Structures are given as C-alpha cells and as structure tokens.
Amino acid sequence: MTERTGTITGGDNDRGVTPLVGVVLLIGMVFVGAILVGITGWVVMDSLSSESDAESTYSTVEATDHGITTAASTREMQTIPWDGANYVDDGEVYIAWYDDDISSNHNVSIDPIGAIEYELADRTVVYQSGATWEIQDDDMQVTSGPNIGYDDSTLQLYFTTLSQDAVSGSEAIVEPSPDRELAEDIEDTKNNATQDGYNNLSLIVDSKYHDSWHSHLDSAFDAEDENITIQRDGAGAPFIDNSETAINVTIKNATETDPPEFLVAEDYGLSGDQYAEENIFVQSPDGMTFEADIENKGDERQTQPVEVAIKEDGEEIVGPEGLDVSIDGGDSKTVGIDVTEYTGTDLDFGNEYNYTISTDDDTTDNGSIYYAKTEDPHLNVTKPEVNDADASDENSPVSADSSSENVSLSADITNIGAENITDSDVRVGVQTLDDEVENAYGTDPYGLEDAEPVSVDRTYGENGTVTWNVSREDLFELEHKFTVTAVESDESATGYFDVSEAIEAGDTELFTPPNSEVDVSVIGTELGYTPQQVCLEPVGRFGCAEHGYQVDWIPATTSIYTQAVDEDGDPIDENEDPERRDGMEWSGDNLNQWDDRLSTFDHSFTTEDDERVSLMVQGTSYMECHDWQVGGEETINGVTYQHRNCPSGSEHNELVDLTADTQTEETNVRVLSEESNTMPELDPGNDVQLPANELLERDEVDIDVSENPDGSAELDLDENEFVFVFEVTHHPQQYNTGPELNDPEISADDYWQEAHERSGDPNFNDVLVHVEIEPGGEGIDPEDAVFDPSAENGIAPSVGTGEGSDGEHSSWSEDSVEVGSDEIIIG
C-alpha cells in the first residue's frame, strides 16, 4: 500500500454557544452553571418555632435565589441575606454520554454542588442548585425543583454550584466565579460526545438530599418511557460504587446525531505554479497536487481517505492516491492530495484527462487537467497516414494504387507544451526505397527540401492535421517513405506507402491495369476416364495374351480472352465481345495429351497504356474422339495401363463448355489469389492422373502447396500472382452426372462451396492456369510532382475543476438537550 501524502488546513468547527450555554446535542443543550462561592459572615439563627418563621425563611430563600440568578445572568455582584444561613459542602454530579457500552464514555463531574441550609425549630430548609428542599422528621419534600427535566421536547440539565469563602454578617456578596474551567470541560465533553456519536445519557446525582433529588427526578422524567431508567443507590451507575445516596437516571437515545458524511464541497483543481491555476500540469518529478475543501456534513467525527484518480475513457489510469483526513462533524478542511505514483507510460503529453476527487461518501464530476511536456510551446508529430490509412508500419506500407487519383500524405501536429504558438514551420520529405532511383535522384527526388514549409498555429493542447496531396501519376511506382517534421521542436513522424497499379481479382476474371506485363501459362490438364479392363495383346480370334486397363485422355482446349473494362469491371463497349488474344499457337489444340502432360502452354502480352482490361480463360472438354491413338503404356503396382490420346481436331461431343464473358457468371472456374488461396481438393480421383500439388510445385511453376486435413490445400501465392482452377468433368447443367446435384440452377458461390464440402467432382483440379502480372507505369519526371499542402486547426482542450457537492447539513438541533452550570462565589 502506498503512503498517503498531502496537506490539511482548517480548524475546529465553531458550532456551539458560549461556555455558559454549552453545545447542542441534537435534541438538547446542557447549561453548565457557574459555581456559587459565597463569602459572607456567619450568623447563628435561633430555632424558629412558628410558621411565620418558616415564611420568613422562605422569603430569605427566594431573595437568595433571586440574587444568585441575577449574578449568574448579569455577571455582576449581588447581595443576598445570610441570616440563619449555613453553607453545606454537599453533592456530586456526573453527566456521561456513551454509545452502547457505558464503559466507553465522555463525562464531566460537578463536585461539589454545594447547598445552603436554614435550620428552623421543627424543620430544615435547604437551597441547592436552584431547588428548595424541606426536611422534617427525616421526611424530605420538594418545595421547588431544580431546572432539570423536559421543557417541551428539550431536555434541560441546569446546575448552580455554590462554594463559600469567609462570610460574616447578615448579608453576603455573590459573584460569578472567574474560573471557567468547569464550563469549558462541559463544553468539550459535549462536543466530543457529539463527534463520537454518543447518544445515550447518564445523569448521576450523589447527595445527602437524595430523597428530594429522587422525588424531583422521578416526577421530571417519565418512568413509563422505555428509554428512561431511574435507579436509587447508584445502581448501574459508573464512577460511584453503589453509593446509598446516589440517584442514576439513564436516558437511551437522548440525542440523535447524524453519522459522518464527507463531501467534496469545493474542487480547486491543481495547486502550485501559474499553470496549475489553469489546471495545466507541466511534467515534474515531484508529481502533481490537487486541492479541495472537504466538509463533514454529519455530526460525528470520522477519518476517511480523500483520493484522486485520473481517468481516460472512464477507466482509471493513475491512482487512486490520497491521504487520510479526520474532520469533526460540521467542520471542513482544505486538503492537498499528492499524486506521484505514475510513469511516463500512464499519461501522454498534450492530452486532456478527467480526474475525480473522492471520499467514502462523495465523488466529484467533470474535473479535467491538461498534461504538458514543457512550459514553452512544443509541437509534436504523430499519426502518419496515407489516404487516411495508418502508414506507420514499415513492413506494411499503404498501397497507393490506381483506385485513387491522388496520394494524400498527412500527420497530426499537436502542441504538447503549456503555452500557445503561432507561425511555426512544418515540413515534409519524401524519398523512394529504391537504390537505383536514389543513385539517380538522391534522397530528395521530388525537391521538397526547397519547398515552402507549412505554417501552423496551435494553442496549448490543440491538435490538427497537416496534409500534402500529390497526383499518383507524378510518383515513381515504387515503395516510398515520408517524414513530417516540426522544425522548431525537431519532432517528426515517418510513414510508408507503395505506389502501384491496382490488380483486382474477381471470382472468374482478373482486372489488369494499363501498361502491365501479363504472363499466362496453362500448367496442367488432367482429364482421364476411369480405366476399363481391355485385352492389350490378342491371340487368335478369341484369345488374349495380356490384359490391362485402357485410359482415354479426353480432349480439352483453352484460350485467353481480354476485354476493355471500366473501374467497375463493366465493358467499356457493351456491343463488343471479349477478344481472343493473338499469338497463342496452342489455342484450339487439345492440350490433354498423356505423353505431353508436363508441358506448359505460355502466352505473354502487355496491356495498353490507357486501357484497363479483364483477363479471362475459356475452356472446353469433349466426351469423344474420332481417332483415338495409343500414346503409350505404363505399369503401376504390377498393373499395365494403356493411354490413348485424341489428336487435335478429332474431338467431338462437348462435355463442358465454359465461355469467356465479363457478363456471364460461370460456375466452373475460380480465380485464386494471395488473399483467396484455398483449393477444394488435390486428389485427382484415380492413380493415373497427377495430383494438383505435383503440377504446382514443379520448378517451372514453383508454387508451394500446403494440404489441409480435409484434403483441401492452401496455395502460397505472391502479390500479383494468380491461378485459374477449372472443373470441366462435371457441370450443374451441361453434365450433371457423378454426382447429380439437386439444383441445376445452383449459383457459382454455392457450387464452389459444394466443391469444398464433398470429395470427388466437383473438385476444380481438371485444368490449372497460372498468371503473373507486373503492373506497369510510364516514366516520370519527379520534378513535376506538386505536393499541395493544407493545414487544419484543431480543438483546444477545455479543462477545469469538478463540481463540488452541496449536501444538506445535519438535522441536529442545539435546543434539544441543554446542559448548563453557573459557578457562583459567596463572599
């Protein structure tokens, strides 16, 4: 666990009243009185034996009470009668607040309470803490009670303590004690009880006048209330060990404090230098500090963590970090939270990040900071793109082919500093990755070193794109790299692209760009009837010296066709048919000859400078031959096979005829490419035919083949390398036999899928045609290339502090429990 760091300022809460009044405990206040210290002369009074004497004494008591009350309220000296008065050092009071267990409490004691006795002939009148007791024949009566009990919903515990100095004469002077220690103790005790959530109250009075106290307390409190218990002899009371003169009043839930609730009242954001005032953090090894006001809206003291977390897209990427803060109920503190536990990979310069300041109870929203690399402006270059595609991978350059007229080179320019910048230069450099061109034209073939730079303005954190557009025809048809550089900061980013003509592979045809060299080779025709047993060497009319198997290699022809098409692959002239290429001496000949089976039939041509063409291969197979001729015999595994060929021109009865037409969807031909390179099946179906992998992997063709467990195969084709694969011994309409498909109108895609899902025909390995294309391009003068620049402004970050919470204060009331004391000196 990381150490929590930060700073805390602020003081204790001012909630409360003067020490004489005390602090409100949610349902009441305690008035703690000043101690009465009486300094007066002592006069021995004769016993009074008449009611008139009693009345006179009660008048004296009333005058005494008035004088003491006035002295307490005005804080001025008063005179009271002292004839017949006798000070008694009696009485001890404990007031304790606690939670569930009385053993853990906050308490205050008043010792002594003090009393004044008036001895009459048949009774004793006692003045104690504002009350008047009368004792006669060991019987105590309450003439007037102390200010202890409920007044409406307010619990009042008000004591007047008396102490005596030397007194002589018939009068005494009373004045409030200058010593405020008891009042302060009561104030502190109540506050501590509130902060700790101690809501139960225990009042213990230990006095020799306990019968009078019990009588008053029993009448002042509702003994039927399940929350109130009144016990004699100190039963259950702390501090007093079973005193016979003690009364213990226990009140459950005497107060109701709200639990602590820590709110982030004010979010000040970053603190520190001038940039922090704008919520900008410039990188520093010391980390960053956030400042906030934390307010405890409850009544009770608590310690909670105050933490900062920095987020990106809602996910925490730094923190949370913070410190533990203790706050009294109703108080607030200003807290500084240090964030230091992050690395350079957590935050990116120039970015805006959201942050939260949180407690256990609250979290701010909408706070954000900007993270700067330097105090000065600093332009950074990122995101090199070509035609809006990521160009940063040297091993995967963006293809800038003929599908787009222009080549767009761009990069993002971001001010990752803390200050704004204007008129800052940005340059682009472009070079080819070809030694011959570099030897001829140098590393700056397009002369961009002398070109005018692009001037950009950026506020701090602003990101915008700078773009250079150039005609694709003005660039070498080679691989390139380009570098965008911010001159002042010397920051740069490099991208890679390849200028080439587009060769698009359709399902049944190839679309070849202008001025391209095309090499076509028929590399295999493997079409033979299932061998049938025959007599290879007859003897006499009916005898046979040798039996064997006869294999008829059925005739098959292929031809190459082209047709001028537009960018969508549609014929430019719909009235013109595809044209068979000239110069194919083998066109129309039967290529399926057993004794010439490994020959290739080649044809090369170059497309016109201004013409995009569709390349198609036509194929036809035949059922019969007018003049079968034996081409040879071979023995395989002890079995002799006699192979018969059909001379060109002797074939008849078409089996499958596949047209070369851009407008016709042929089911029985497919073009394999670098991207789509799966052949349905290699197995030719019998022992006398060569499997397709032998035809493809021989040196003259050199295509690696990887067979899959299901019998299909992956062809390792290069870019601009293709293979036409044909099925000419089965057709869903022309020859729907072995197998017979249920749907003669099956689509080309479904027929291709059928080949992948079954063994045997259709398997698309009867005729294989290999095509290699070298895209062309006219020679260029690189000095003619024009790179047209443009600069876009971006959006500056909008950072600021989060919104503080404004929760409601506790419903705790200062008028529900009143505890008070007046300290009066008699002298």
Q: What is the pLDDT of residue 9?
A: 53
Final residue before a domain boundary, out of 329, 351, 372:
372
Phi, psi of 786 (to 5 degrees): -115, 120
Cα–Cα distance list, 9 to 224, 281, 299, 332, 440 (Å)? 49, 23, 20, 9, 73
pLDDT single digits (tens) 198-216 = 888 889 999 999 999 999 9
CB 302 within 8 A of CB 327: yes
For residues 224 and 311, membership in a common domain is answered with no
Q: For residues 288 and 282, what is the distance between their CA atoms, to the nearest angstrom?
A: 9
20: left (phi over 0), alpha (psi -120 to 50) or beta: alpha
Asked whether the predicted pLDDT for residue 5 surpasses 90, the reply is no
Q: For residues 553 and 629, what is the distance between their CA atoms, to the nearest angstrom?
A: 10
Q: What is the pLDDT of residue 680?
A: 95
For residues 388 and 337, membership in a common domain is answered with no
Final residue before a domain boundary, out of 339, 372, 405:
372
When pLDDT is cut at 50, 70 and 90, the band that residue 17 belongs to is very low
Higher pLDDT, 719 or 650: 650
**Considering the domain boundaries, does residue 781 fall inside one?**
no
**Considering the domain boundaries, does residue 7 fall inside one?**
no
Query: What would the mean pLDDT of 286-304 be, rounded to a whole number?
Result: 88
What's this model's pTM, rounded to 2 decimal places? 0.58
When pLDDT is cut at 50, 70 and 90, the band that residue 819 belongs to is low
Nearest by Cα to 770 from 558, 526, 581, 522 = 522
Structure-block tokens of residue 664: 């016709």
For residues 229 and 281, membership in a common domain is answered with no
The half-sphere exposure of 193 on its side-chain side, counting CA atoms within 13 A, is 37
pLDDT single digits (tens) 504-560 = 777 888 888 887 899 999 998 988 876 788 888 888 777 888 888 999 999 999 999
Q: What is the pLDDT of residue 821?
A: 59
Q: Identify the domain containing residue 75 by its residue range.
A: 27-257+817-826
When pLDDT is cut at 50, 70 and 90, the band that residue 150 belongs to is confident
For residues 365 and 280, membership in a common domain is answered with yes
Q: For residues 430 and 484, what is the distance between their CA atoms, to the nearest angstrom?
A: 9
For residues 368 and 383, membership in a common domain is answered with no
Q: What is the pLDDT of residue 24?
A: 25
**Considering the domain boundaries, does residue 232 fall inside one?**
yes
Cα–Cα distance list, 216 to 28, 182, 558 (Å)? 20, 25, 125
**Considering the domain boundaries, does residue 458 fall inside one?**
yes
For residues 327 and 443, membership in a common domain is answered with no
Q: What is the pLDDT of residue 656?
A: 94
Q: What is the pLDDT of residue 40?
A: 26
Q: What is the pLDDT of residue 823?
A: 61
Q: What is the pLDDT of residue 508?
A: 84
pLDDT single digits (tens) 317-372 = 888 888 999 988 888 999 998 888 776 668 889 888 999 999 999 988 878 888 88
Q: For residues 737 and 731, what is the distance between their CA atoms, to the nearest angstrom?
A: 8
Final residue before a domain boundary, out of 342, 372, 402:
372
Q: For residues 711 and 764, what is the distance between their CA atoms, to the nearest angstrom?
A: 13
**Considering the domain boundaries, does residue 784 fall inside one?**
no
Q: What percent helix, strand, coil does the chain show, rounded to 5? A: 10, 45, 45
Q: What is the pLDDT of residue 812?
A: 45
pLDDT single digits (tens) 29-61 = 232 322 233 322 222 223 334 567 778 888 889
pLDDT single digits (tens) 178-196 = 777 888 888 888 888 888 8
For residues 510 and 491, membership in a common domain is answered with no
For residues 363 and 397, membership in a common domain is answered with no
CB 91 within 8 A of CB 112: yes
**Considering the domain boundaries, does residue 804 fall inside one?**
no
Please name the residues in contact with 315: beta carbons below 8 A apart, sequence gap of 6 or more: none
* Residue 784 identity: D
User: Which residues is 415 bridged to in the sheet?
Assistant: 379
When pLDDT is cut at 50, 70 and 90, the band that residue 711 belongs to is very high
Q: What is the pLDDT of residue 31?
A: 25
In the chain, % of residues over pLDDT 90 = 39
Nearest by Cα to 824 from 178, 177, 32 = 177
For residues 213 and 293, membership in a common domain is answered with no
**Considering the domain boundaries, does residue 679 fall inside one?**
yes
For residues 615 and 737, membership in a common domain is answered with yes
Query: What would the mean pLDDT of 435-456 be, rounded to a whole number?
Result: 87
Query: What would the mean pLDDT of 499-505 be, rounded to a whole number?
Result: 75
For residues 164 and 50, membership in a common domain is answered with yes
Query: What would the mean pLDDT of 650-671 be, rounded to a whole number?
Result: 89
Domain count, the chain: 4
**Considering the domain boundaries, does residue 789 fall inside one?**
no
When pLDDT is cut at 50, 70 and 90, the band that residue 168 belongs to is confident
For residues 419 and 279, membership in a common domain is answered with no
Q: What is the CATH number of the domain that holds 277?
A: 2.60.40.10
Burial per residue of 665-688, b for 16 or more beta-carbon CB atoms within 10 angstroms, e otherwise: ebbbbbbbbeeebebbbbebbeeb
